[in-house]
Amino acid sequence: DGGITQSPKYLFRKEGQNVTLSCEQNLNHDAMYWYRQDPGQGLRLIYYSQIVNDFQKGDIAEGYSVSREKKESFPLTVTSAQKNPTAFYLCASRPSGARDEQFFGPGTRLTVL
């Protein structure tokens, strides 16, 4: 089955540690996205990538980093510089074409203790 996988589903880390969230898709989509979701605030864009080896900052990129070495993979690293990292993180992908919707993964809930 084609889709987007995110792992792990739940992640706990100590304050000050970097952590990497995985996002893999087998839909052959060109574009991939990372969002952060907090209660009552909808989704906010962290980073996005249209093609391999290229990515752009979104609205709240500070304290995060990404890489896009393969079309299928777009990992997100939450660094110790992120002031309030506890949140629900969603990965999405989209085929080429402005009319196409984004397809979302199941999300990773990160809790920093």
Partner 1 sequence: AQSVTQLGSHVSVSEGALVLLRCNYSSSVPPYLFWYVQYPNQGLQLLLKYTSAATLVKGINGFEAEFKKSETSFHLTKPSAHMSDAAEYFCAVSVARGYNKLIFGAGTRLAVHP
Residues that bind partner 1 (CB under 8 A): 4, 6, 31, 33, 40-43, 45, 48, 50, 56, 58, 88, 90, 92, 94, 98-107, 109
Q: What angle do CA 45, 51, 57 make, to 5 degrees?
A: 30
Per DSSP (E only), the strands in 14-107 are: 19-25, 31-37, 43-49, 56-57, 64-66, 76-78, 87-94, 103-104
**86 residue type, one letter:** T
Q: Which is nearer to partner 1, 15 or 101 (CB)?
A: 101
Q: Which is nearer to partner 1, 80 or 86 (CB)?
A: 86
CB of 80 to partner 1, least distance (A): 26
Cis before 8? omega within 30:
yes
Q: Which is nearer to partner 1, 12 or 17 (CB)?
A: 12
CB of 94 to partner 1, least distance (A): 7
